[in-house]
Every structure is written in structure tokens, then in C-alpha cells.
Amino acid sequence: MKDVLIARFRAVHSREPEVIARAPGRIEFIGNHTDYNGGTVLGAAIDRGVWVGLARRTDGRRRFASDSRAELVELAADASARATGTSSWVNYPLGMLLVMQAAGIETPAGFDFLAVSDVPPGAGLSSSAALELSSGLAFLAAQRQSLPREQLVKLGRKAENEFVGVPCGILDQGVSGFGRKDCLVHIDCRGPTFGIVPMPPGLDFWVFNTHTKHALVDGLYAERHKECMEAALGIGVGLLVEATPEALAAAETRLSRAAYKRARHVIDEIARVERATEALRAGDMALVGKLLLASHRSSRTWFENSSAELDLLVDVLEAEKGVYGARLTGGGFGGAVMALTSSQFDGDGAKRVEEAYWAKFGSKPDVIRAHTDDGASLVKEAP
């Protein structure tokens, strides 16, 4: 992808990028909607990512380009309004730039910018966080600066929360920032604190992207967030991570049915994350697989963020040889399913899953075989 980025940068901006940064997409392994509830989550940085090239300008103009959009978006150096329509992708790097400036971090006044990606958008692999972190590293490198990784990750989340307007937790940016090859990232979102959980050898990730997306997905995500906060208030805790199953049971009659169901999922899911962490350390993949399946069923029943397409994929994958477990990955309401497999599951197995999906829905999911990778990094420094 580095060569692709350089060639595209030359074609669009008629010069070489001075700095290049890359950040990986991520798989939410287990811990669905636990992050903004203060819980724990496990995720994997993957070998697909977003690459950003940047070259400084002396005239204060900011020119944004992307391999996924034909048009060049040009903004003044003092622009701070959110872009709309086909230019809205610019909000991720622009938001990162603005929160860095607000934090007193020096950023380039003018620049030519280009992003290229092999992370499929809308697949629940968080191309947005990868774009934020790679942009942040490029802005820093252009000024010959660096930041502690935790601060960079927090700025990425702040950009998405406060500028883009998505009330996400730290999962996406944390995994993209702290990823390590052959490992999962464990995040305790209360700190947040970041740790590494080694993965047993011989495992593969398969992602099945349905290309389905609920028309109201952004509103539904915000609605779930609100219901979780409502549940915490009704139970009498600051965040659901502080609630026990017993406290939830005692508060059930005080909660709306929706708030109770969201809390039930989150409280149980946090416990599943810790059990999965212990099982991974012990090499008990059978238990890990059961926990993944239980996570999906809880998302479907209690959090109600699954779909018929996602449910079918999980059911079909569960019956396949070599599949330890499968679950929706990401925010839900469409998107993708992740399967954790041994080498016994291969392209033939993936084809059978595709055929079952075709028989039901008349289309085929995109199939991505992914491996763990390292987190966000600077690829080329400023001269």
C-alpha cells in the first residue's frame, strides 16, 4: 500500500509526500458496546489499514484527497465546520487536527493530504479510527513532533466524539494504536489502561461483510448509548461496569424494558471478556469459542443490534469444522461477522458459508481473511 499511496499522491498533488503514516483496522474480538460503559474489551489490530501521506504547504491551504473519492476537498487554514455530503470523510482528519490544536499541539497550517485504505468501509473494522490515528501521526511528523501513544489514542476518540459526533468508546482507537502482531489488545476502559494478551498459534480470523446497514444506524447507536446511561442511573451507579447482576435484578422494576435489556447484555458481556482473557491465556479455545457465540446471542437478544443476515452467518459458521466461534463485530445493525478458526477452516469452508448466505438473501458477503498486526506507526519521517 505504501507504493500505491506514493503513486496516487504524485498523481493528485504532483509531488512526493513528505511524511507517511499507517494505522490498522481492528476486529472487535469480544466486548460489544462495553467500552463506553466503562467495561473491558478485547480487540485485534489487523493486517489491513489506512495510509496517509502529507506534504506541507506555505500558503495555508489544506487540500484533502482520498482513494475512495474523486473530488479534492480544499479548506482554508481556519476552517472548523464539519463537512457534509461526499466530503464528510474529511471530518475524521479535520477533527483530529482541531482537537490537537485545542490541546496546544503544533500542527501544519497548510498541507496536501492523501489517504488510501484497504479496510472495507462499513464492515465493522473501524476504518474511521485508523484514519484518525494515521492522520494524527502524519500531522505530528510534519512538525517533527511525537506524542505518547495513549495521548494520541485519546485525541482520536475525542475527535470522533466531539467533532464527528459518534459517541464511541476507546475500543477502536485503542486497538488501532496499541495493536501487536500475534496478540490481542485488552482495554480496561475506566483508565483507560491497555494490555496485551498473546494468542495461541495456528488461529485465523475470517470476516464476512454483509454490506447491509440499517438506515438509522447512527441514531440507533446513540439510542443504545442513551439507554445504557439510563440503566446505570436507575441502578444507582456511574457506569454499568460498576453494576452487578444482583443490582440489576433489584432495579428491574425501576427500569424501562429497553434499559434493562441493554444493561443485561453489558453486564454479562464484561464478565465474558474476562473469562475469554483467562481462557486465551490457558489456551482453552473451546471455551473461547463458546464465549464468542454467547456474546452474539446476547447482542441479538438483549442489545438488539444484530440482524437476520448476521444471525444466519453465525449459525452457519457454528456448524463448520474448524470454527471455534463467531459473532457480530463492531457496532452491529448490519455490517460483519467475525469467526475465529483453526487451519481446518479454509477457502472451501468460506465458500459454503457464502453459498448458504446466497440461498437465503440472494447476494454474497465479502470474505476477508485477516491476521493480527502491529498498531499505528510512522512509515516515513519528514526530511
Length of the chain, in residues? 383
Q: Could you give the CA distance from residue 96 to residue 158 in angstroms, rounded to a whole number? A: 8
CB 286 within 8 A of CB 318: no
Report d(CA 258, CA 264) in Å as an integer: 10
HSE-CB for 172 with a 13 A CA cutoff: 28
Determine if residue 354 is left, alpha or beta; phi over 0 gives left, psi from -120 to 50 gives alpha, anything else beta: alpha
Sign of CA dihedral 355, 121, 270, 244: negative
Nearest by Cα to 335 from 27, 125, 42, 31: 125
Please report where in the chains the cell 469452508 appears, as a residue.
349
Q: What are the residues whose beta carbons fall under 8 Å from the beta carbon of 282, sequence distance 6 or more?
A: none
What is the number of other CB atoms lying within 10 angstroms of the CB of residue 109?
14
Query: Peptide bond preceding 192: is omega within 30 degrees of 0, i.e. cis?
Result: yes
Of 217, 99, 223, nearest to 164 by C-alpha is 99
Q: With contact defined as beta carbons under 8 Å apart, do 65 and 113 qualify?
A: yes
Write down the catalytic residue from 59, 78, 118, 172. Answer: 172
Catalytic annotation on 172? Answer: yes
For 1, the 3-state DSSP assignment is: coil
Q: What are phi and psi of 228, to 5 degrees?
A: -65, -40
List 40's β-bridge partners, or say none.
Answer: 188
* 53, β-bridge pairs: 20, 114
Provide the annotated active-site residues: 172
